[in-house]
Amino acid sequence: QVQPVESGGGLVQPGGSLRLSCELSGLTFRGYDVAWFRQAPGKGREFVAAMRRSGGHTYYGDSVKGRFTISRDNTQNTVYLQMSSLKPEDTAVYYCAAHRGVILSALRDDRSYNFWGQGTQVTVSS
């Protein structure tokens, strides 16, 4: 059973940093493309970042580009999201997702991923 498990969420002040982790068990991790999405109250799910299974290519949503960094450790079956210069509008539940072989044009589409974590809450507030 594939079950991504996120951790690292919490309350942080504007301008602060936070690192989210997502461990994926039950699959050959290095064979999967991984991504982070987020959903704020009353809004749809938003693409945050994605990384190819090779680890050589990363993609970011416009609202987080330059502030967030996605990375992966294939030896630990874990994907990370380092978040810096956080803003109140970054407040959301963050989800990690995985799928084996997402086509490039669909990396930002949440329908492309079939394995999802339960989400971790990130709140940016003073």
pLDDT bucket at 28, cuts 50 / 70 / 90: confident
Residue 55 has pLDDT above 80, yes or no: no
User: What is the average pLDDT across 14-41?
Assistant: 93
Residue 92 has pLDDT above 80, yes or no: yes
**Arithmetic mean of pLDDT over the chain:** 94
Distance CA 35, CA 64 (A): 13
Residue 3 has pLDDT above 90, yes or no: no
Residue 84 has pLDDT above 90, yes or no: yes
Distance CA 52, CA 33 (A): 5
pLDDT bucket at 120, cuts 50 / 70 / 90: very high
Structure tokens of 78? 């874990």
pLDDT bucket at 46, cuts 50 / 70 / 90: very high
Structure tokens of 11? 């309350």
Residue 101 has pLDDT above 90, yes or no: no
